[in-house]
Amino acid sequence: MRNIFNRLLIVLLSLVALVAGIVLILLEAGLVTAAQVSPGGFLQRQWEFLSHLNQADATTATLVGIGLALVGLILLIVELLPGRRAPAQFVIQHDNRGMVAVTRSSVNELVRYVAGTVPGILETRGAVRQEQQGLRVRVQAAISPDAAAPEVGKTLQEKLQQSLQHHLGLPVARVEIATQVASPGRGRRVR
C-alpha cells in the first residue's frame, strides 16, 4: 500500500513540475497571460511577477521552466512505465515437448513448509528469485530463545537447498538465512 501511495505522490509531483515548467515557458514567451493560467485568480500575482521580469531574469526563468518541464516529464515516464517484475513462475523444464513450470507462490510455500520442519524456528518470511546461476533464497527466521542461531540457520540452509533441488530440479545458487531471537512466550507460527 505504501508503494502505491509513493508512486501516486511522485506522479502528482511530476505533473505539477511539468505543468509549472510549461506555464513558465509560455509566460516568458508571451504566449499566455497570467490571468489565462490562473483559474479563479489562483497564483495570479506570482505568474504576473514572473511574466514582467527583465530580459536577463526572463532568460533564467525560461531555463528554469525548461528544466522543471524536463524533470517532470522524465519522472512521469519513469513512474508510468511498468517496472521490471519478477516472473510469476519458475521454468523447471523446457524442451521440444513443452514446458514445465512452478509458480512463485508454490516455491514460497515449499520454503515455508521446510522452515516449519526445523526445530527452533517460530516464524519465517522468505523470498525466492531466479538468477543465472540458480535460485537465490532469502529467509528471515524468528527463532526461539533457547535455540542456537548458528545451528538452526545452518540446518535450515541445508534443508532448503536439498528440498528445492529435489522437488524442483533447479540449482540453488545461494541460501541466505537471517535469524532473530523471538521474544519469550511467542508461539510457533511459520508463515
Place of cell 526445530: 119
Q: Which of 33-47, 119-133, 152-166 has the highest mean pLDDT?
A: 152-166
pLDDT at 86: 58
3-class state of residue 34 by DSSP: coil
- Strands (E) across the chain are located at 89-95, 98-103, 121-131, 134-143, 172-181
Helix-strand-coil split of the chain, %, nearest 5:
50, 25, 25
* Amino acid occupying residue 38: S
Quick: pLDDT tens for 54-86: 888 989 999 999 999 999 999 989 888 876 665
Outline which parts of the chain fall under CATH 3.30.70.1350. Answer: 90-181
> pTM for this one?
0.53
In sequence order, what are the residues at sequence separation of 6 or more whose Cβ sits closer than 8 angstroms to the Cβ of residue 93? 99, 100, 169
Quick: pLDDT tens for 12-25: 999 999 999 999 99
pLDDT at 3: 72
- Ramachandran area for residue 5 (φ above 0: left; ψ -120 to 50: alpha; else beta): alpha
* Amino acid occupying residue 40: G
pLDDT at 83: 67
Cell of 182: 523471538
Measure the CA–CA gap between 72 and 67, rounded to whole angstroms: 8
pLDDT at 187: 54
Fold classified for 90-181: Alpha-Beta Plaits (3.30.70)
* Residue 91 vs residue 174, higher pLDDT: 174
